[in-house]
Amino acid sequence: MAKSKVLSEDQIIKIKEQSGVERDISKVTNMLREQGIPEMTMDIFNSPAGMEREDKSTLLRVTQVCWAFPMDEVLFQDFFVNVWRMRPMPWDEVLTVKDTYLPSARNKIHSQFVNDAKSTWLVMIDSDVLPPPNFVDKMLLHHKRDPRKKVLSGYYHVKGEPYNPTVYEYVTMLDAEKLPYDTKGHEGEVAWYRQYTPEEENLRREAKRLEKVTGVGAGCIVMHREVAAAIGEQPYDMSEGGEDLTLCRKITDAGYDIWVDWSMACAHVGVAWT
């Protein structure tokens, strides 16, 4: 049996800036292949339908990302396990803060990313959201295929019946019949984010569509640095409703599209407030 090769000190990757990542990582990729590590690996992840298999995870990701983890009062053990299943790379950056008020935590992390991080991509994942293992790889692949896609997301469900997906449509008076209230007596533009129904989710999930939308929950969102800088250092604001949808409005007002991948269903663990 052939001996496994061990990396010497001079072969260890020392990432100082993103420009050198792809050049250096090719050597390590070749070494791992020589040791018999397969190109395709098998992951198991939870889904609403039960346990599903996913065999499209990458061996190594050469694109540096900045992982962002706004923490709630409780860090679920499933979240901690799931982070490692998504395979953070040694050259990735990580941002988190000691702030249990979610809008504030998200704003602090967003500001740190804009001002201090070196990565091109911000991967914001709430501490109660569990994306599939290939979540980041899939989001980056969408951008590679179409560089105009700079805000990408999976989705999860609200913690209460009827468990609607956290995907929304921005509706104005032009589509007043879609609004969940009577618009008579209202003057000017009446705007509302209509949440997608479970029936709409099922149709899209079966087709595994990538869809342009106007609103998503911010618990599993991947954002390009260009967008993060364009919407300012404090984009999460509760003064106009939920901070997730305020963020989405700022993104679309800045001229960027939001894309949701319906094949990226994430678990939303824990219990709802009553």
Average pLDDT over residues 202-221: 89
Q: Which helix (H) or strand (E) holds 23?
A: helix 21-34
Query: What is the Cα–Cα distance from 131 to 78, expressed in whole angstroms?
Result: 11
Instruction: Indicate the SS3 state at residue 42.
Output: strand
Q: Is the pLDDT of residue 32 over 70?
A: no
Query: What is the Cα–Cα distance from 98 to 104, expressed in whole angstroms?
Result: 10
Contacts of 90 by beta carbon, 8 Å cutoff, 6+ apart: 13, 15
Query: What is the Cα–Cα distance from 237 to 192, expressed in whole angstroms?
Result: 16
Among candidates 68, 210, 43, which has minimal Cα distance to 142? 210
Q: Is the pLDDT of residue 60 over 50?
A: yes
Average pLDDT over residues 62-74: 84
Q: Please check whether residue 240 is in contact with residue 19, taking contact to mean a CB–CB distance below 8 angstroms.
A: no
Q: Please check whether residue 66 is in contact with residue 92, taking contact to mean a CB–CB distance below 8 angstroms.
A: yes
Among candidates 89, 116, 84, 112, which has minimal Cα distance to 15? 89
Query: What is the Cα–Cα distance from 70 to 219, expressed in whole angstroms?
Result: 9
C-alpha distance across the termini of the chain, in Å: 60
Q: Which two tokens stand for residue 254?
A: 């800045």
Q: Is the pLDDT of residue 38 over 60?
A: no
Average pLDDT over residues 117-130: 94
Domain boundaries 64-268, CATH class: alpha beta
Q: Is the pLDDT of residue 24 over 80?
A: no
- What per-residue string of b and e applies to 20-40 under the rule 16 or more CB within 10 Å gives b? ebeebbeebeeebeeeeeeee
pLDDT-above-90 percentage for the chain: 41
Q: What pLDDT is attached to residue 153? A: 97
| Residues recorded for the chain | 274
Among candidates 245, 251, 253, 263, which has minimal Cα distance to 224? 251
Instruction: Report which residue type is found at 222.
Output: V
pLDDT tens for 135-172 read 999 999 999 999 999 999 999 998 888 889 999 988 77
Report pTM: 0.76
Cα-Cα-Cα-Cα dihedral sign, residues 48, 49, 50, 52: negative
